[in-house]
A and B are shown apart, each in its own frame.
Chain A
Amino acid sequence: MTAVQDSVRTDGPAPVRLRLEDIDKANMAGDGNYLWRHSLPGAEIVLKVYYGNRSSLLYAKKTFGNVVLTGRTSHMPKARCAVEADCVRTWQSHGFRCFDIYPQVDVDGLPREGYMAFEYVPGKHFKDLFIDRSLPLEERMAIWRQFIPEWHRRHRIAVDTSDSRLIHENGDVKHVMLYEGGFVYFDFEMIYRSKDVRMLVGREICSYMRSVGRFFGPRLYERMLDDLVAHYPDSSLLLSAWDQAYRHNNPFMRFARWLDRMKPSNKKIYSKYRVAEDIASRLSKSSLTTG
Chain B
Amino acid sequence: MSSSQTAQLHAALSKNQIWPLHDSDVPVLVKVYSAPTWSPFQWARIVLEGIGRQKTSSRAGARWRTERDVLRVWSQAGFDVPADLTERHPVHPGRPYAVLERVHGRLLGMLLCSGKMGEADRLQAVGRYAAEMGRRHRLAIERGEHRLVHEHPSLQHVIVSGPRLVTIDFEQAFRPVRDVRVLVAHEVVAALRSLGKGADAARFATDLAAFVEGYGSRDGLAACAREYLRSPSPRRRLLWALDRRLRRDRKRGLGKYQVAALLADAVA
The answer on a CB contact under 8 Å between A233 and B21 is yes
The answer on a CB contact under 8 Å between B15 and A246 is no
Residues of B within 8 A of A280 (CB): 9, 13
Taken together as a complex, chains A and B put the C-alpha atoms of A38 and B15 apart, in Å, by: 57
> Least Cβ distance of A160 to chain B in Å?
8
Interface-located stretch among A13-21, A91-99, A109-117, A237-245 = A237-245
The answer on a CB contact under 8 Å between A152 and B92 is no
| CB-contacts of B1-58 with A (<8 A) | 1, 6, 9-10, 12-13, 15-23, 29-30, 32, 35
The answer on a CB contact under 8 Å between B22 and A233 is yes
Q: A198-B92, A236-B97 are in contact. Are A289 and B22 (CB under 8 A)?
A: no
The answer on a CB contact under 8 Å between A277 and B6 is yes
The answer on a CB contact under 8 Å between A235 and B19 is yes
The chain A residue sitting closest to B1, CB to CB, is A277
The answer on a CB contact under 8 Å between A236 and B16 is no
Q: Does A127 contact B (CB under 8 A)?
A: no
The answer on a CB contact under 8 Å between A236 and B32 is yes
Residues of B within 8 A of A288 (CB): 18-20, 29
| CB-contacts of A172-223 with B (<8 A) | 198
A-B contact count (CB 8 A): 78
The answer on a CB contact under 8 Å between B35 and A287 is no
Residues of B within 8 A of A55 (CB): none
The answer on a CB contact under 8 Å between A237 and B17 is no
B10, B15, B18, B91: which contacts A234 (Cβ < 8 A)?
A: B91
> Least Cβ distance of A273 to chain B in Å?
9
Binding site for A on B (CB under 8 A): 1, 6, 9-10, 12-13, 15-23, 29-30, 32, 35, 91-95, 97
Other A-B pairs beyond A243-B94, A283-B13, A284-B17, 9, CB < 8 Å: A233-B21, A234-B30, A236-B17, A236-B30, A236-B92, A237-B91, A237-B93, A283-B19, A284-B13
